[in-house]
Amino acid sequence: MTDDPAATNHTLYTVVFENERVRVLEYLDQPGDRTTPHSHPDSVMVTLSDFDRRLSVGDHQREVSLKAGLATWLPAQTHSGENIGTTATHTIFVELKEQASGAPHEPVLGPEI
C-alpha cells in the first residue's frame, strides 16, 4: 500500500514536474472534499488560493486558514485533510527528495506559519 498523495488521491494531486532532486505537485479541491491518509516529505508549499482546511492524523486535528500567495515550509508528515471552507484549496508542493540531516523533529500537522 502506498502513501503517495498522487496515487492515493489522484483526482486531487497532479505531478507537474519531477527530477532526481524534487517533485512538484499541484493540489486542487472544492469545499467538502477530503483526502485519504497520505505522506509528504519535507516540502515548500505555495498557496494559490485562500482556503480553510482541517488536517488529521490519528486523534490529532489542526485547522488552518491560509491566504493566497504564501510560501511556507511543510515538514515531513502523514495526514488526511478536509476542505472546511467555502473556497477551493489550490496549492503547489515542491517536495524535496533528499533526506534532512540532523535530529528528527516532532510530528506536525500542516505548514509552519
Cell of 38: 497520505
Looking at residue 98, its pLDDT comes to 84
**45 backbone dihedrals φ, ψ, rounded to 5°:** -110, 130
Contact 36, 9 (CB under 8 A): yes
pLDDT tier for residue 112 given thresholds of 50, 70 and 90: low
Identify the residue with better confidence: 24 or 100: 24
| Residue 99 pLDDT level (bands cut at 50, 70, 90) | confident
Confidence at residue 3, expressed as pLDDT on a 0 to 100 scale:
93
CB-count burial class (<10 Å; 0-12, 13-18, 19+) for 12: buried
Single pTM value for the model: 0.86
pLDDT digits (tens, 9 = 90+) for 11-66: 999 999 999 999 999 999 999 999 999 999 999 999 999 999 999 998 999 999 99
pLDDT band at 104 (very low <50, low <70, confident <90, very high): low
The rounded mean pLDDT for the chain is 92
Q: Which residues does residue 56 pair with via DSSP β-bridges, in sequence order?
A: 61, 80
- Domains of the chain as residue ranges with CATH: 5-96 (2.60.120.10)
The answer, yes or no, to whether residue 103 has pLDDT greater than 80, is: no
